[in-house]
Amino acid sequence: MAMWSELGRVWGLALAFTMPVALGGALLLHRMRRRSITAAVTVLVLIPMAAALVGVLGVSGFMLDPQLSRTLAVCLVVACVCVPAALLLGRGLARDSVWEREARSRERAAESARRELVTWMSHDLRTPLAGIRAMAEALADGVIEDRATAEEYARRIGRETERLAGMVEDLFQLSRITSGALCLTLSAVPLGEVVSEAVAAESAHAAAAGVRLTAADDVVWPVVLGSDPELARVVRNLVSNAVRHTPPDGTVMLAAGTDDGRAWLRVQDGCGGIPEPDLDRVFEVAFRGSVARSPQASGEAGAGLGLAIARGLVEAHDGEIDAYNHPPGCRFEVRLPLARE
C-alpha cells in the first residue's frame, strides 16, 4: 500500500509541475503559428524537455543530490542533441514549404495561362470558321454568280484555312514542348543559313507590311549545336513577331556573334518598345500585352503562341532567350551553345 501511495504522490507531483509547462508551451505555439517553421519546431522540441525537467525537479523537492545531478546532466545532453536537430528539421520544412508555395503559385499561373489560351483560341478559331462557313454557304447556294467574286471567295477560304492550319500546328508544337515529348537530333547548324532562310521566307510578309527586313552582312555567323528544323522555327517566329509589330517604313535587323563561349542571335525591331511590366510576360502562353493582338484581316496567323514556342525550343537546346527594350523598339536575344570543332 505504501508503494502505491508513494507512486500516486509522484504522479500527482509530476502532473502538477508538468501540466503548466505543457499548457504554456501549447499557448506559445499557438501564438507562433504565423512565425517561422524553424522557430516553431524548435519550441516544439523544447516543450517536452522543459516539462520533463520541471517534473523531475518538482518530484525531487528541488533537492540536489547525485541522482538528480545525473538526471540533469542527461537532460542537458539531450537538449544539446535535439535542439540542433530541430533547427535543421525546421529549416528543411521551411524550404519545403517555400517550394510548395512556389509550386502552387506556378500551378495557378499555368492554369490561368491555360484558361487564357482556351479563351483566345476559341475566339481566334471561331472568327475564321465563321467566315469560311459564310463564304462556303454562299458558294453552295449559288448566291454568288459572278465568277471573279466566286474565285475571290475561294482564295479567301484558302487563306483562312491556312491560318487555321497554322494555329493547329502551333498548338501541336506547344503540346510537344510542354509534355516533354520533343526529341531533338542535335548537329552542327550554321546559324547564317538558318537566318538566311528565315529572311527569305518572311520577306514577302515584310514587304507587304512596308517593313525592311535585313540581316547584318558584316558579322561572322557562328555554328551552333542544335536541331535545324527547330532553330528555323525559332528564328521565323521571332522575325514574324518583329515584322508584325513594326510600323511601315520600320526596320527589322538580325545579327549574331559569339560571347563567353556561346553564340548569340539578336532580332531588333521598331515596335516602339514594350511596357516594362510586360517584358517578363512576353514569352507566356497566349500573352498579347495590354492591347489584343488578334490576327488581322491580312491573314496574319497567331494566337499568342509564337514567342512561347520559341522559348520552349530554345530552352530545349540548353539555351536562353530574353527580351528588352532597345530604341527604336525592342530586341530579342537568343543564346545557344556553340558546336564543337
Q: Which long-range contacts (CB under 8 A, 24 or more apart) does 266-269 make?
A: 266/331, 266/332, 266/333, 266/334, 267/235, 267/238, 267/239, 267/242, 267/331, 267/332, 267/333, 268/242, 268/326, 268/329, 268/330, 268/331, 269/241, 269/242, 269/243, 269/245, 269/329, 269/330, 269/331
pLDDT tens across 279-314, in order?
Answer: 877 887 766 665 433 334 334 444 567 888 888 889
Task: Indicate the residue among 85, 101, 117 that finishes a domain.
Answer: 101
Calculate the average pLDDT of the chain: 77
pTM for this model (two decimals): 0.59
Three-state SS string over 221-252 comes to CCEEEECHHHHHHHHHHHHHHHHHCCCCCCEE
Q: What phi and psi, each to the nearest 5 degrees, are found at residue 32?
A: -95, 10
Q: Which residues contact 336 (CB under 8 A, 6 or more apart)?
A: 191, 224, 225, 226, 231, 262, 263, 264, 265, 314, 317, 318, 319
Question: At residue 254, does pLDDT exceed 90?
Answer: yes
- Range with lowest mean pLDDT among 5-14, 50-59, 105-114, 213-222: 5-14
Confidence of residue 190 (pLDDT cuts 50, 70, 90): very high
Give the mean model confidence (pLDDT) for residues 110-136.
73
For residue 296, give the CATH number of its domain.
Answer: 3.30.565.10
The single-letter code of the amino acid at 101 is R
118 is a domain residue = no
Whether residues 189 and 325 share a domain: the answer is: yes
Question: How many independent structural domains does the chain possess?
Answer: 2
20 is a domain residue = yes
Domain residues for the domain of 202 are 184-337
294 is a domain residue = yes
148 is a domain residue = no
- Nearest alpha-carbon partner for 312 in 321, 300, 304: 321
Q: What is the pLDDT of residue 83?
A: 67
86 is a domain residue = yes
168 is a domain residue = no
Q: What is the pLDDT of residue 334?
A: 93
Task: Indicate the residue among 101, 130, 154 that finishes a domain.
Answer: 101
